[in-house]
Amino acid sequence: MAIGTSSFLNLFVAAIYEHPQILIIVKVLQGLVEGVTYPACHGIMRYWAPPLERSRLATLAFSGCYAGVMFAMPISSELVKRLGPLSPFYFYGIVGLLWYLSWLWLVFEKPSHHPTIESKELLYIQNSLGTTTQTYIAPTIANTPWKTFFTSMPCYAIFVANFCRSWNFYLLVLFQASYFKDAYNTDLESIGFLGALPHMLMTIIVPSGGILADRIRKKGLLNTTQVRKLFNCGGFGLEATFFIIMAYSDTLSQGMTALTIGVAFSGFAISGFNVNHLDIAPRYASILMGISNGIGTIAGCICPYVVHLITSSNRTREQWRIVFIVSAIIHYVGIVFYAIFASGELQEWADPTAEEEKQWNQMNEAVPMKPSTQNNGLLQRQLSGKINYGSVDTPMPAKPPPPSGWMSEDKPQKPTAPPQPYQAPPSAPFVPSGNPFLSGNNPFRQEQVQPEAQDTYMHGTVFDRTY
C-alpha cells in the first residue's frame, strides 16, 4: 500500500513542479507513506524466515533497494536526455503502480495463508519458527515495551548503525553525481552509467553476504552475535577506509574505483545491523525496524545540510574531500559502538510470557452464562449441574398399594417396597483438552442421555412393580 500510494503521488509531481508549496506537501506525504515499507517487510519476514535463513532472505529482499538505484541512474539519465527532466516521475509512478498490483496478487502475510505452498515447505517453516509466532498476543501500543527499546543497548547499537549507514547511503544517492561533476568535470550521461556501478556490485554483495553469514552460523564457526558484529563492523570499516582513499584521489578512475570497492564492501553490513532486529526481538522486529529507520531518516535530513555548509562556496575537490572524511569518521564511530553493545541473542524482554503462549480458546473467552432452567417437556436441565428427568421438578407421589385379593391366591403377594426418591447419576467427568467442546469451560459438556433405571415403577416383573 505504501509503494502504491507513493507511486500514485509521483504522477502529480511533474504537474505541480512549479508550485513549491504544493510540491512540498506531496513529497511529505510520500515520505510518510513510504516510512512503513521496511517495518512491513520485517513484519512479514517474522513469519516466513526460519532462524538460520534470516540473513539470506532479509538481504535478498533489501538488495532490491540497491538494485533500484543501480537501474534508476542510467534509466533516469536516458529519460532526461530524450524526454525531458520531468519524465522520470511519470515512468517510476507507472512502474510502482504495476508493482503494487503484482504484490496484491502474489504476496501473502503468512505461509499458512498461501494457497499454493507445498505442505513440506509449510511444515518446515512452522517447525523452525516454533509455536511462539502462532500463540503470542500481537503487539499493541499498550503492551509494547517502549521504555525498554530506549534503555536496551543492543537496540541502541542497531539505531546507531542505521544512522551511520543511512548517512553514507543518502550522501551517495543525493550527491554522487554532483561530486563527480564538480571534482572531475564529468557529464551527466557518463555519471549515470558510472554511478550505477557501485550499486550493481552492492546488489550482488548484499545477498551473497547473507548466504555466507547463515552458512557460518549453521556450521557453528561463530555464534549469531559474532557473525553480526563481524559483518557489520567489517563492512563499515572497509567502506570508511575506501571513502578516505576516494577523498584523496586525483583522477576519475581512482575515485570511481575507490567508491565502487567501498560501496561493494558495505553490502556485508546489511547482514549485520539490518537483520539484527529479528535476532533480539522477532515479535517486535517491525516496530524496531520502524524506529531505527526513522533514526536513519534523520541522517538523511542532516546530511544534505552538512554538505551544503561545507560546499556552499565553490564546491571544489578539497571541499568534497572534507565531506567524505566526515562520512568516514561517522562510520568509524558506528563500528566502535556496534562492536561493544550489539547482540544476536533473543532479549529477555522480547520473550513471550507463559500466559501469552497459551493456546487461544474461544470458549474461555465467551461471556459467562447465568444458570438458567431449560425445559422441553422431556428433559429439564440447569447449567449449574442439577438434572431432573421428567416434565416437572418434583417427582410424582407413589400410588397406594393394590387391594388384597385381586391376584391369584396360589401366588403369595410380595411386600411392597417403599418408593425411593430418584437420585441423578454422577455426571460424566470432564476431560481437559485443547478442544473447546471437551474442556471444563464448555457449557455443552457430554452427559448420559438416559440414566440406568433405578426405580421400581414399570420395571421388573409384575410382582416387583410399585403402583
- When pLDDT is averaged across residues 397-401 and rounded to a whole number, the result is 56
* Residue 446: predicted pLDDT: 47
Rounded-to-5 percentages of helix, strand, coil across the chain: 60, 0, 35
Residue that the C-alpha cell 534503555 belongs to: 151
Backbone angles phi, psi at 392, to 5 degrees: -130, 165
Residue 294 has pLDDT above 80, yes or no: yes
Convert the pLDDT of each residue in 31-60 to its tens digit: 888 877 777 777 787 788 887 787 788 788
Residue 239 has pLDDT above 50, yes or no: yes
Backbone angles phi, psi at 134, to 5 degrees: -95, -25
Separation CA 386–CA 407 (nearest Å): 41
Q: Are strands 373-375 and 379-382 parallel, antiparallel or unpaired?
A: antiparallel
Q: Is 384 helix (H, G, I), strand (E, B) or coil?
A: coil
User: Could you tell me the CA-to-CA distances from 38 to 5, 71, 279, 290, 324 in Å, in that order?
Assistant: 15, 20, 16, 7, 27
CATH number of 35-132+147-350: 1.20.1250.20
Separation CA 328–CA 6 (nearest Å): 32
Which of the residue ranges 2-6, 24-28, 187-191, 374-378 would you say has the lowest mean pLDDT? Answer: 374-378
Residue 430 has pLDDT above 50, yes or no: no
Residue that the C-alpha cell 505541480 belongs to: 16
205-216 burial code (b ≥16 CB/10 A, e <16): bbbbbbebbbeb
Bridge partner list, 373: 382
Q: Where do runs of H (alpha helix) occur along 136-219? A: 146-149, 153-184, 188-218
Highest mean pLDDT among 191-195, 237-241, 382-386, 390-394: 237-241
Separation CA 310–CA 178 (nearest Å): 14
- When pLDDT is averaged across residues 12-37 and rounded to a whole number, the result is 83
Separation CA 17–CA 211 (nearest Å): 43
Convert the pLDDT of each residue in 146-200 to its tens digit: 999 999 999 999 999 999 999 998 998 888 888 888 888 876 556 666 767 787 8
* Residue 355: predicted pLDDT: 42
Residue 327 has pLDDT above 90, yes or no: yes
Three cell numbers written together for 40: 512491513
Virtual torsion, Cα 135, 139, 143, 148, nearest 10 deg: 110
Q: Where are the domains of the chain?
A: 35-132+147-350
* Residue 403: predicted pLDDT: 53
Residue pair 181/247 in contact (Cβ under 8 Å)? The answer is: no
* Residue 450: predicted pLDDT: 55
Higher-confidence position of 3 and 334: 334
End-to-end CA distance of the chain: 80
* Residue 341: predicted pLDDT: 95
Averaged pLDDT of the chain = 77
% pLDDT > 90, the chain: 21
Backbone angles phi, psi at 389, to 5 degrees: -95, 135
Higher-confidence position of 195 and 308: 308
Longest dimension (CA), the chain: 138
